[in-house]
Copies of this chain bind each other. A is one copy, B any other.
Amino acid sequence: MSDEFCSCDIVHENVIEMVRKKMPQEEKLYDLAELFKVFGDTTRVKIISALFEAEMCVCDIAELLHMTPSSISHQLRVLRQARLVKHRKEGKVVFYSLDDEHIKTIFNQSLEHILEPRGFEYAIS
């Protein structure tokens, strides 16, 4: 190959070509990582978990998580931009709720991975 990024001799070109053809577009994989970045923060995971149970206003969430309304508002902005939550205004109060059916599946599957029993290397003899 002309532009080598790997100096190894044993490169399985046929496998690489097959995989390259089958893989999703670069742009979609980028968007996928961006979505996971949104999920990859404890505060946002907590907010989403809370909204699974009920619609809540900014102050409710702040009180629930023992955080400032400002930081919650910042995080809700990120969740809004990722189209994961929707909001409803009632006077001064803004109520947030989840805006995606996929999130629950994603979270459940991920929880299953976390709760999975470890391999034998961790087992008690």
**Contact residues of A with B, CB < 8 Å?**
1, 3-8, 10-12, 15-16, 18-20, 22-24, 28-42, 44-46, 49-50, 53-54, 56-57, 59-60, 62-69, 83, 93, 100, 102-103, 105-107, 109-116, 118-119
Question: Which residues from B are CB-within-8-Å of A42?
Answer: 29-30, 33
In the complex, which residue of chain B has the Cβ closest to the Cβ of A20?
A: B64
Question: Which of B46, B93, B103 has a CB less than 8 Å from the CB of A29?
Answer: B46
Question: Which residues from B are CB-within-8-Å of A102?
Answer: 109-110, 112-113
10 additional A-B residue pairs with CB within 8 Å, beyond A33-B40, A36-B39:
A5-B65, A10-B59, A23-B50, A29-B42, A29-B49, A32-B110, A33-B45, A103-B113, A105-B105, A106-B106
* Copies of this chain present: 2
Q: A110, B35: Cβ atoms under 8 Å?
A: yes
Q: A5, B66: Cβ atoms under 8 Å?
A: yes
For the complex, give the distance between the alpha carbons of A8 and B29 in Å: 41
Question: Which of B6, B53, B109, B118 has a CB less than 8 Å from the CB of A68?
Answer: B6
Interface of A is mostly: helix
Q: A3, B35: Cβ atoms under 8 Å?
A: no
In the complex, which residue of chain B has the Cβ closest to the Cβ of A5?
A: B66
Question: Which residues from B are CB-within-8-Å of A118?
Answer: 83
